[in-house]
Amino acid sequence: MKNKNATFIKIKNTFFLSATILIAFSAVAMAQEAVSLQNTDCIKCHKTEPATVERNGGLHKTAVGCLDCHTEHPPLGTEAIPQCSMCHSGEPHYELENCLSCHSDPHQPLALQLDDNITTACLTCHPEQGKELQDHPSKHTEVACTFCHTEHGEIPDCSVCHEPHTQGQTTKDCLGCHPVHQPLVIHYSNETPRSYCTPCHEDIGELMNKTTTKHKTFTCAFCHRGVHPVVPQCETCHGKPHSAAQHKAMPNCLDCHLDAHNLAK
Strand, helix or coil for residue 187:
strand
Beta bridge partners of 181: none
Q: Kindly tell me the number of DSSP H helices and DSSP E strands found in the chain.
A: 14, 0
Nearer to ligand HEC, 3 or 239 (CB): 239
| CB nearer ligand HEC, residue 6 or residue 150 | 150
Cis peptide preceding 75, ω within 30 of 0: yes
DSSP per residue over 101-163, as a string? GTB--TTSTT-B---TT--HHHHTT-HHHHHHHHHS--GGGGS-HHHH--STT----GGGT--
Site string for ligand HEC, 72-101 (x = CB under 6 A): -xxx----xxx-x-xxx----xx-x-xxxx
Q: In the complex with ligand HEC, which residue's Cβ is closer, 7 or 32?
A: 32
Site for ligand HEC in 15-44 (CB under 6 A): 21, 24-25, 28, 37, 39, 41-42, 44
Binding to ligand HEC (CB under 6 A) within 171-230 occurs at 171, 173-178, 180-181, 183-184, 186, 188, 192, 194, 196-201, 204-205, 208, 213-215, 218, 220-224, 228-229
User: Which CB, 1 or 231, lies closer to ligand HEC?
Assistant: 231
* Positions 121 through 150 that interact with ligand HEC (CB under 6 A): 121-122, 124-126, 129-130, 133, 138-140, 143, 145-149
Residue 231 CA to residue 195 CA, distance in Å, equals 18
